Amino acid sequence: LSPPMPSWRSRLSCAVLALGVTACGARFTVPDPAVIAAAAATPSYSGRLRISLDGPALRARTPLLLAFRRPDGLRIEVPGPSGPRLVAVASGDRLWAVFPGDRAFFEGRPTEADFEALLGVALTPREVMDLLVGLPAPRLTAYEARWRGPLPARIHATLPDTGRLRVTVDEAEAAAVLPAQAFDEPPHAGYRAIGPEEARRMWGGR
Q: Cβ of 60: how many Cβ atoms within 10 Å?
A: 19
Continuous H helices in 72-158: 112-119, 125-132
pTM of the model: 0.86
Query: Do 59 and 71 contact (CB within 8 A), yes or no?
Result: no
User: pLDDT exceeding 90 applies to what percent of the chain?
Assistant: 78
Residue 205 binned pLDDT confidence (cut-offs 50, 70, 90): low
The C-alpha atoms of residue 77 and residue 94 are separated, in whole angstroms, by 17
Chain segment 84-114, per-residue pLDDT in tens: 999 999 999 999 999 999 999 999 999 999 9
Residue with more model confidence, 205 or 155? 155
Is 80 exceeded by the pLDDT of residue 40? yes
Query: Do 158 and 53 contact (CB within 8 A), yes or no?
Result: no
What pLDDT score does 30 carry?
Answer: 87
